[in-house]
Amino acid sequence: MADTADDDLKDLPLAGLHAELGGKMVPFAGYSMPVQYAAGVMKEHLHTRAAAGLFDVSHMGQVILRGADPETLALAFESLTPAAVLGLKEGRQRYGLLTNEAGGILDDLMFANRGDHLFVVVNAACKAADIAHMRVNLPGIEVEEITDRCLLALQGPGAEAALARLAPEVAEMRFMDVGYVTLAGAECWISRSGYTGEDGYEISVPDDAAEDLARALVEDETVLPIGLGARDSLRLEAGLCLYGHDIDETTSPVEAALQWSIQKARRAGGDRAGGFPGAERILTELEGGPSRLRVGLSPQGRAPMREGVTLHSGGEEVGRITSGAFGPSVEAPVSMGYLPAALAVPGTEVEGALRGRLAPVTVTGLPFRPANFKR
Amino acid sequence: MKFTEEHEWLRAEDDLIVVGITEHAAEQLGDIVFVELPEVGAQVNKDDEVVVIESVKAASDILAPIDGEIVEVNEPLVEDPGKVGEDPTGEAWFFKIRPADPSQMDDYMDEAAYLAYIG
């Protein structure tokens, strides 16, 4: 996790509630964030998979893009991302990447078509750079950072029931739908999505209604507050990338096994092929395959292999682990990392250097645990 | 019972010393998911890294508090590392060591001093 110095740490609008709920605060991406609550990482993780968890992810960036008309806006945004923006229906959301000229990844994000504008959610550590990048490279597009809203995520198989008790219409939403719902007396912007591999919602709520909403949710006996620790182990089991660790400016979307976020229209032979930063490398890798690939890695035994552990095969260093932890739901250590394409095949055995010894690691498919979305 | 600045407790049992981590340490570490124990029969020196524990957050080493021979290890912890969080000062001891020089124990804190140390 991208820790920064303790000074200049920003408090979340819900800092008081986190303290009251027993949140243990740590610096993360410039914010003081709860890493866990009284239940602890393991219980928080398992509770989210069994019932529902509430995450405060207000550190993330919320941005609205407006253009002369929806098509102009979509085509403009397509100049920065390999995702198809044109063709995304109103009320729907998609995962996308901002790429650089070298074909690396500047950030990963969610963007939603809300009729006359796009609503974009970006990573906290990247938000200032993303906004500057969009302002410079999207002439004629208004880039508005939303700074008066919290972002809460309600995740888990019990999320629908818990949120529907406050607003029954959310039960009708399908995975990656977005909509406007009144919660705690305020207009909230909701998507049915998340970062855990579970069904759930992300809720953009005005700052002045956020505490009432968060309290109403944690008062539900099925909902526990969940910190960053469990957020990390949940996303890792779900095979989801953490920016700055599993993906960065040096990894291409194809190397990162995120080619599913590049729709057909943007690929060679598509209606709007290329036209995004780094297209040459990315389209070439889509055709011929990348030289290295992000894979799931299952260390044998119980010892977690974390970020930075080097991977070895035939006596040579061949790659590196980019994220790793103990997976409470799979009841085993889980990692992700990059390997040369020839080794990036599920079932391949490699070794990880752990405390001066080489320990066996099996290449596995991702996710470690099937997703539980409401399609 | 004696305590180290590394948050280990040391309990005399006949002519052996039983070693574990304190409640305070277990709380700080969070849920323990992995324990690696030393070999029985190993001769260790004070401050050797003899046990590796991994929590959901990070790896930590447990140091040998004194010189001596490892005579017994708590093997069930390897299969059930969560016990360290549940009963750190009882069932979840790590190893028993036969001191080479029992006077090394004199350097360590008693309970009152340890409680003052952790504030």
What does the alpha-carbon distance between residue A249 and residue A84 come to, in Å, rounded to a whole number?
21
- Does the N-terminal peptide bond of residue A367 adopt cis geometry, omega within 30 degrees of 0? yes
Residues B17, B11: contact at Cβ < 8 Å?
yes
Q: Please tell me the predicted confidence (pLDDT) of residue A230.
A: 97
Question: pLDDT above 90 covers what percent of chain A?
Answer: 96
Which residue of B36, B49, B56, B78 to mutate against A (max A Cβ within 10 Å)?
B56
- Other Cβ atoms less than 10 A from the Cβ of B98: the count is 17
Domains defined along chain B, listed by start:
2-101 (2.40.50.100)
Q: What is the dihedral of CA A19, A21, A22, A25, to 10 degrees?
A: -50
Average of per-residue pLDDT values in chain A: 96
Q: Which of B34, B36, B78 sits opposite A326 (nearest CB)?
A: B34
Binary contact (B56, A303; C-beta < 8 A): no
How close, in Å, is residue B66 to chain A by CA atoms? 22
What's the average model confidence in pLDDT over A336-342? 98
| SS3 of residue B45 by DSSP | coil
Residue A98 has pLDDT above 60, yes or no: yes
Binary contact (B31, A304; C-beta < 8 A): no
ipTM of the complex: 0.80
Q: Please tell me the predicted confidence (pLDDT) of residue A3.
A: 45
Contacts of B36 in chain A (CB under 8 A): 303
Q: Please tell me the predicted confidence (pLDDT) of residue A160.
A: 98
Residue A48 has pLDDT above 50, yes or no: yes
Write the DSSP symbol of residue B67: S
Q: Could you give the strand order of the β-sheet that contains B2-3, starting from the edge strand earlier in sequence?
A: B2-3, B8-13, B16-21, B95-99, B68-73, B43-44
Tens of pLDDT, residue by residue over A180-193, are 999 999 999 999 99
Q: Please tell me the predicted confidence (pLDDT) of residue A8.
A: 82
Contacts of B81 in chain A (CB under 8 A): 302
Among B38, B108, B25, CA closest to B66: B108
Residues A371, A197: contact at Cβ < 8 Å?
yes
What's the average model confidence in pLDDT over A15-38? 96
What's the average model confidence in pLDDT over A344-352? 98
Which residue of A326, A331, A335, A357 to mutate against B (max B Cβ within 10 Å)?
A326
Tens of pLDDT, residue by residue over A116-160, are 999 999 999 999 999 999 999 999 999 999 999 999 999 999 999
Contacts of A333 in chain B (CB under 8 A): 33-34
Question: Which sign does the torsion angle of CA B22, B28, B31, B33 carry?
Answer: negative
Contacts of B30 in chain A (CB under 8 A): 36, 40-42, 229
Q: Please tell me the predicted confidence (pLDDT) of residue A106.
A: 98
Residues A113, A91: contact at Cβ < 8 Å?
yes
- C-alpha B30: how far from chain center: 16
Task: Show Cβ contacts of residue A251 under 8 Å, excluding neighbours closer than 6 positions.
Answer: A104, A105, A294, A338
How close, in Å, is residue B30 to chain A by CA atoms? 7
Residue A266 has pLDDT above 50, yes or no: yes
A357: contact with B, CB 8 A cutoff:
no
A302: contact with B, CB 8 A cutoff:
yes
SS (H, E, C) chain A: CCCCCCCCCEECCCHHHHHHCCCEEEEECCEEEEEECCCCHHHHHHHHHHCEEEEECCCCEEEEEECCCHHHHHHHHHCCCCCCCCCCCCCEEEEEEEECCCCCEEEEEEEEECCCEEEEEECHHHHHHHHHHHHHHCCCCEEEEECCEEEEEEECCCHHHHHHCCCHHHHHCCCCEEEEEEECCEEEEEECCCCCCECEEEEEEEHHHHHHHHHHHHCCCCEEECCHHHHHHHHHHCCCCCECCCECCCCCCCCCCCHHHCCHHHCCCCCCCCCCCCHHHHHHHHHHCCCEEEEEEEECCCCCCCCCCEEEECCEEEEEEEEEEEECCCCEEEEEEEEEHHHCCCCCEEEEEECCEEEEEEEECCCCCCCECCC
Residue A71 has pLDDT above 80, yes or no: yes
Q: Which of residues 158-197 of A touch B (CB under 8 A)?
A: none
What does the alpha-carbon distance between residue B94 and residue B104 come to, in Å, rounded to a whole number?
19
pLDDT tens track, chain B, 119 positions: 999 999 999 999 999 999 999 999 999 998 999 999 999 999 999 999 999 999 988 889 999 999 999 999 999 999 999 999 999 999 999 999 999 999 999 999 999 999 999 98
Q: Please tell me the predicted confidence (pLDDT) of residue B58.
A: 85
Domains defined along chain A, listed by start:
1-288 (3.30.1360.120), 291-375 (2.40.30.110)
Binary contact (B33, A306; C-beta < 8 A): no
- A–B CB contacts, 8 A cutoff, strictly below: 43
Tens of pLDDT, residue by residue over A228-263, are 999 999 999 999 999 999 999 999 999 999 999 999
